[in-house]
Amino acid sequence: MKSLKLFTAIALTAILGFTSCQSNESEEVGTNPNTNSSTSPTASNYERAAKNNGSEDDFLDGNACTELLFPLTATVNGKQITLISKLDFSTVLNIMGEFNDDSDAVTFNFPIRVKTSNYTEVIVNNQAELDALKEECEQAEEVGKDAISCIDINFPVTMLTYSISLEQTGTVVLESQEQLYTFMTDLQSDELFAVNYPINVTLSNGTSTEINSDTEFQNAVSECVQYEEEKDEAKETAVEVEAILTGTKFKVESFVTAGVDTANEYADWSIEFTNDLKVVAKDVVNATLNEVEGTYTVSSEIEAFVTIDFASNTTVSALGNDWVVTNYSSALITLKSKTDASVTLAFKKI
């Protein structure tokens, strides 16, 4: 390995015509031969990270590989909406969130325009064509060729290009994600490249970090993909838990605070979660007592959460909290406080 590094360094420094800046870049790559072919894992990572991300509008088209282009008109749960920009997404989400026990239905007024993951604009004339694009996306996901959307490269990024004999052939400054994608997909079999590190990236959890090598970039990709998988699993859990809660009455099976189970204090109460995100507590023994109404939401990050909010100074106020879902079945949901894991609550279906 030492002989190879020495040979590479000599070969690179012998090339005539470099500027002093180019010479420094060559020496850096020569002492750490970080050159990659078009079929290398590094090339694949950068190509996937540079693909157009169409996941922001998945609640409409269910396809992470296509970006819906404006304007477009769709019928959402029977209501026709014209979307001019992403600002109109909130209108659609409000319609979808009105009730949580219905099946949201989206019908587009075709033709519509979409931008695919390779930045090609396509006119989609009917639902069958849209479904075909979705199937292509699912196939790409299965073989690990879909977009890596959990890492954003901060541009500009400089690429050093080489021939297969490790002779530097140029320097390319890339200013955007699309330019990076084009650079990667245009690489020929007799061309090599090296990333001029360091570069900076922003991960989907909001953190920014400096990347100093192909290995560090690979590690960052692996970590963020794992983070996204955990988010997806939590989202699925949230959907399932919300379906169990909605329209169902429960009793407090256990409520442990400071090591003491106070479930008996709620033995006469039923807790019902309605389909419009209200939670209603009712004393089933003493009908003269007024119902206590609050609200609830089910959400997720890398865990699933149930947030319950009752007004203060009511019999069931203590049940209000930001809860983490720890376990669930069709009959029993167990929770722990988001801020104090020693506080736990279990609801059992009546």
CA distances from 13 to 29, 81, 160, 170, 291 (A): 11, 63, 15, 15, 83
- Write the burial class of residue 21 (CB in 10 Å: 0-12 exposed, 13-18 middle, 19+ buried): exposed
What whole-number distance in Å separates Cα of residue 83 and Cα of residue 53? 19
| 246-349 classified as CATH 2.40.128.270 | yes
Check if the beta carbon of residue 168 is closer than 8 Å to that of residue 18. yes
pLDDT digits (tens, 9 = 90+) for 119-156: 999 999 999 999 999 999 999 999 989 999 999 999 99
Mean pLDDT value of segment 264-280: 97
Mean pLDDT value of segment 294-306: 97
Q: What does the DSSP 8-state code read for residue 293?
A: E
The reported pTM is 0.79
In DSSP terms, 233 is beta-bridged to none
Type of residue numbered 13 = T
In the chain, domain spans: 2-50+150-238, 58-142, 246-349
Mean pLDDT value of segment 231-239: 96
What whole-number distance in Å separates Cα of residue 153 and Cα of residue 305? 31
Check if the beta carbon of residue 333 is closer than 8 Å to that of residue 242. no
Q: What is the DSSP string of 135-191?
A: HHHHHHHHTT-S---SEEEESPEEEEEEETT--EEEEEEE-SHHHHHHHHHH--TTE
pLDDT digits (tens, 9 = 90+) for 76-113: 999 999 999 999 999 999 999 888 878 899 999 999 99
Instruction: Kindly tell me if the per-residue pLDDT of 18 is higher than 60.
Output: no
Percent share of the chain, pLDDT over 90 = 83
- Tokens standing for 187? 């690489």
142 CB contacts (<8 Å, ≥6 apart)? none
